[in-house]
Amino acid sequence: MKVAFIGTGNMGAPMARNLADAGHEVTGFDTQAPMPDGVLVAASATDAVKDAEVAVTMLPNGEILRAVVAEILPAMAPGAVLLDCSTVDVDSARAVAREAAAQGRRFLDAPVSGGVGGADAGTLTFMVGGAEDALATARPLLEVMGARIVHCGEAGAGQAAKICNNMILGATMVATCEAFALADRLGLDRQAMFDVVSTSSGQSWSMNTYCPAPGVGPTSPADNDYRPGFAAELMLKDLGLAAQAAEAVGATTPMGAAALAEYRTFVEQEDGKGRDFSAMLPRFAGKPGDR
């Protein structure tokens, strides 16, 4: 399949590389990041999408997505699929879907879960919003880049699923780190804490799979000095999107709001930027006067 890939940063580069390794003809463009091996370099985003059956975008936010889409849609072939894997606000996803339909192109919002490790291994989960026929066209590519594809509904539903998932994840990670810090103060061994909680009612992905305590449970960024698998500033972004969505529809999300406040302080006022989102543990584990 002829594929365009716009945005080859930390997530996009391994995704594009996996498509090229699988035999697809991938042409990429990024304003700063280099192209991975096997991906042809385009002079511009519009050049990349010409003749592409599917154009994949992996971009930082909704504003940039809207600007890029306004540029590339007229250059895309009629009936081509725009597959957006960015994490953006629901309104931006739906606005882009409407614009794509008006110009005779098909659109899918397909944000991902799994981080850089999942992108590299081709084991991402895709949460997809959009029409079945567009998904059928894009599915062979999604199956290369990921291990699970969930069709969540119409355009925007993929983004809705992503922000709801990450609101749970952010709040759960804060609670997990708080609990480890409390266990430390109570003199409870961290391994014993993990052995109990990971097999009891407190278990979660944050505990069982991505444990924030170094040397405990499966290998995680905590075992690599909290170098990011999923950066704290990205969690802050996603919690902000959840808060924005909640306000728009009148939903009450106090735990999501509390997690947002903690990550905002961690990233903007402390040393959280550039660290994994699980680095909340050393933050809470410091002495009482440290915070």
Just list the catalytic residues: 162
- Tokens of residue 280, six digits: 């909340």
**Token pair for residue 162?**
């992503």
Token couple for 137: 């066209």
Coil, strand or helix at 25: strand
**Residue among 171, 127, 169 nearest 151 (CA):** 127
Helix 62-72 to helix 90-102 angle (10° resolution) is 10
Strand pairing partners for 59?
none
Q: Which two tokens stand for residue 238?
A: 């996603």
Phi and psi of 142, rounded to 5°? -60, -35
34-73 b/e (C-beta count within 10 Å ≥ 16 → b): ebbebbeebeebbebbbebbbbbbbbeebebbbebbeebb
- Which helix or strand (DSSP H or E) is residue 5 part of? strand 2-6
What pairs with residue 150 in β-bridges? 127
Instruction: Report the candidate in 199, 237, 216 with the shortest Cα–Cα distance to residue 285.
Output: 216
- d(C-alpha 31, C-alpha 44), whole Å: 9
